[in-house]
Amino acid sequence: MKPAAFDYVRASSAEEALEVLAKEGADARILAGGQSFMAMLNMRLARPKLLVDIMRIGSLDRIEEIEGEIVVGAAVRQAKLLGWDKLKAKLPLVALALPWTGHVQTRSRGTICGSIAHADPSAEMPLSLVALSGSVHLRSLKKRRRVRAADYITGMMNTARADEEMIEAVSFPVVAEHGYGFREIARRHGDFAIVACAAIVSSKGIRLAVGGVADRPEVRDWPGLSGSALDDALNRFAYELDARQDVHATARYRRELVRRVGRAVIEEAVQCHS
Amino acid sequence: MPLLNSSQRHRVGFSLNGHSVEGDAEPRVLLTDFLRHEIGATGTHVGCEHGVCGACTVTVDGMLTRACLTLAVQIEGCDVRTVEGLATAPDRLSILQAAFRRNHALQCGFCTAGILMSLDAFLREVPTPAEDQIRDLLSGHLCRCTGYTPIVRAALEAAAELASRQPAVQSHHV
């Protein structure tokens, strides 16, 4: 498995990268950490004419707190965010979910924004960004726009990004005094999740986000449910996700995981909230 | 921002285990193939070629890296370390390698080069690891014949030995 031929450009600024995208459109693709996209190239599921490497653009390699949000630049590797000393205090859900993303050996290279750009339905970072109502900062040569994470991911590995745009950063809102829970089931730790669940509990109620089942992360908000009312809500959610059967799991098994793992992460989040 | 043309070979200069080397590669050439075919460093093995098996794991500027998910042209000017750089001399084994040998932590040896690189980098950051940390690290590697138990045992033994010889180790364990 070797990639098909492409030209390669190492951009030294975001503007340079955007100029290439403006000129080449869909023929050009951004290469960041490469932990998803290089595999796509090797399998020839992607065959761009030109790769624009953004990993040596210093201005994109920043984690900043701006107006109540943590803004993570396009060149920030997953290991860097995981090692950020304020992660647990500012983004407890990301601190819980990120160790499930790939392995030590892929987090060292892979970026946060790259995982969101790839938009795999079972990946943890898109799930976390959607659960936290975060947003994606898109930029083209002509303009910048912010898109809500839930609107950015339009389907399985499909996004609202236009050909001439790149993700410049993603932002996770900092929300104090909430409880968080995260768990997933995979065949091997670090593999793609069969089902991944993130729960956020506040005084207003419960939010549950589920990945790995539908074609994108799905979220439900419930006012303070408990007992059998919560079981009923989880059961409805499990069926609404329209689970598919594949080589990893049956649809029925996925629904059961949504009910059980969903319940477990909600209980975890309640405990962490109180 | 020079464009490297797909149909031409481009000069790539980098440091391999502390020595300056250079070779030529088209943009699409993977670091695995570049190391093995162009540079002649065949210690790095090629397994799945999509980042799952871990056989090709090396370090680039200190970062654990799947060589199969890296382009040769990306390592221009970088510090690359491979399994060939672990031992201090051709007829010597590093402490980690010796622990693998003692514990029968390799059988066919296909996955070994990548696992050694992961452990070598990890033990420098976490000199006294718990067993579950070693197992978490090894989740990034597939071994299909030896089994993980002797690999975990070798890693813990090497960690203990390295920790007890810290000052001497630091000087050559660079």
The whole-number pLDDT of residue B161 equals 96
Beta-ladder partners of A158: A155
Question: What is the per-residue DSSP string for B67-117?
Answer: GGGSBGGGGTT-EEE-GGGSSSSTT---HHHHHHHHTT--SS-TTHHHHHH
Residue B80, domain member (yes or no): yes
Do B14 and B77 belong to one domain? yes
**In this structure, which amino acid lies at residue A274?**
S
Taking contacts as CB-CB distances below 8 angstroms, the residues of chain B near A192 are none
Please state the length of chain A: 274
Give the span between the Cα atoms of A259 and A268, in whole angstroms: 14
| Residue B14, domain CATH | 3.10.20.30
Give the span between the Cα atoms of A159 and A90, in whole angstroms: 27
For A238-265, what is each residue's pLDDT tens digit? 999 999 899 999 999 999 999 999 999 9
Do B77 and B99 belong to one domain? no
Mean pLDDT split into 10-residue runs, chain B, 174 residues: 93 98 98 98 97 97 98 98 94 96 97 98 96 97 95 98 73 47
Q: Is B89 part of the contact surface with chain A (CB cutoff 8 Å)?
A: no
For B97-115, what is each residue's pLDDT tens digit? 999 999 999 999 999 999 9
For A183-235, what is each residue's pLDDT tens digit? 999 988 888 899 999 999 999 899 999 999 999 999 999 998 888 999 999 99
Given B85, B110, B145, the domain boundary residue is B85
Inter-chain contact B49–A42, Cβ cutoff 8 Å?
yes
Taking contacts as CB-CB distances below 8 angstroms, the residues of chain B near A1 are 49-50
Given B60, B85, B110, the domain boundary residue is B85
Minimal CA–CA distance to B6: which of B24, B29, B26?
B26
Do B115 and B63 belong to one domain? no
Total tally of structural domains belonging to chain B: 2
Do B28 and B68 belong to one domain? yes
Q: C-alpha angle with apex A176: A82 to A92, nearest 5 degrees? A: 20
Give the span between the Cα atoms of A198 and B27, in whole angstroms: 40
Q: How far is B139 from chain A (nearest CA, A)?
A: 6
Residues ≥6 apart with Cβ < 8 Å to B39:
B16, B21, B23
Give the span between the Cα atoms of A71 and B156, in whole angstroms: 38
Given B85, B105, B132, the domain boundary residue is B85
**Three-class secondary structure of residue B140 per DSSP:** coil
Inter-chain contact B64–A104, Cβ cutoff 8 Å?
yes
Q: Is B110 part of the contact surface with chain A (CB cutoff 8 Å)?
A: no
Contact B62, B56 (CB under 8 A): no
**Three-class secondary structure of residue A198 per DSSP:** strand
Contact A226, A156 (CB under 8 A): no
Minimal CA–CA distance to A136: which of A90, A97, A171, A175?
A171
Residue B123, domain member (yes or no): yes
Inter-chain contact A5–B27, Cβ cutoff 8 Å?
yes
Give the span between the Cα atoms of A91 and A94, in whole angstroms: 5
Do B81 and B100 belong to one domain? no
Do B80 and B116 belong to one domain? no
For A2-26, what is each residue's pLDDT tens digit? 999 999 999 999 999 999 999 999 9
Do B19 and B81 belong to one domain? yes
What does pLDDT average to over chain A?
96
Do B161 and B99 belong to one domain? yes
ipTM of the complex model: 0.94
Tell me whether strands A158-159 and A205-211 are parallel, antiparallel or unpaired: unpaired
**Three-class secondary structure of residue B56 per DSSP:** coil
Residue B112, domain member (yes or no): yes
Give the span between the Cα atoms of A33 and B116, in whole angstroms: 23
Do B78 and B103 belong to one domain? no
Torsion-angle region of A59 (φ positive above 0: left; ψ -120 to 50: alpha; else: beta):
alpha
Residue B5, domain member (yes or no): no
Inter-chain contact B64–A105, Cβ cutoff 8 Å?
yes
Give the span between the Cα atoms of B70 and B100, in whole angstroms: 28
Residues ≥6 apart with Cβ < 8 Å to A225:
A205, A206, A233
Across A105-129, average pLDDT: 97
- Answer positive or negative: Cα dihedral of A171, A177, A178, A182: positive
Residue A269's pLDDT band (cuts 50, 70, 90) = very high
Do B38 and B79 belong to one domain? yes
Residue B111, domain member (yes or no): yes
Q: Which two tokens stand for residue A179?
A: 């409880």
Contact B34, B44 (CB under 8 A): no
Inter-chain contact B65–A108, Cβ cutoff 8 Å?
yes
Whole-angstrom CA distances from A237 to A68, A254, B96 are 31, 12, 50
Give the span between the Cα atoms of A133 and A125, in whole angstroms: 12
Residue B1, domain member (yes or no): no
Whole-angstrom CA distances from A133 to A40, A69, A129, B21 are 28, 11, 6, 48
Residue B90, domain member (yes or no): no
> Which is more confident, A169 or B167?
A169
| Residue B148, domain CATH | 1.10.150.120
Inter-chain contact A11–B1, Cβ cutoff 8 Å?
yes
Q: How far is B16 from chain A (nearest CA, A)?
A: 19
For A40-85, what is each residue's pLDDT tens digit? 999 999 999 999 999 999 999 999 999 999 999 999 999 999 999 9
Do B113 and B75 belong to one domain? no
Give the span between the Cα atoms of B45 and B57, in whole angstroms: 8
Residue B3, domain member (yes or no): no
Q: Is B129 part of the contact surface with chain A (CB cutoff 8 Å)?
A: no
Minimal CA–CA distance to A73: which of A55, A47, A91?
A55
Give the span between the Cα atoms of B34 and B65, in whole angstroms: 15
Q: Which residues of A touch B (CB under 8 A)?
A: 1-12, 16, 34-35, 38-39, 42-43, 49-51, 53, 55, 77, 79, 102-106, 108-109, 188-190
**Three-class secondary structure of residue A247 per DSSP:** coil
- Beta-strand runs (E) in A24-163: 28-31, 50-53, 63-66, 69-73, 135-139, 144-148, 153-155, 158-159
Q: Is B57 part of the contact surface with chain A (CB cutoff 8 Å)?
A: yes
Do B67 and B109 belong to one domain? no
**What's the distance, Cα to Cα, between the start and end of chain B in Å?**
33
What is chain A's Cα-based Rg? Answer: 19
Range of the domain at B29: 10-85
Q: Is B33 part of the contact surface with chain A (CB cutoff 8 Å)?
A: yes
Give the span between the Cα atoms of B82 and B89, in whole angstroms: 14
Query: Mind listing the domains of chain A with CATH numbers?
Result: 7-53 (3.30.43.10), 63-172 (3.30.465.10), 180-273 (3.30.390.50)
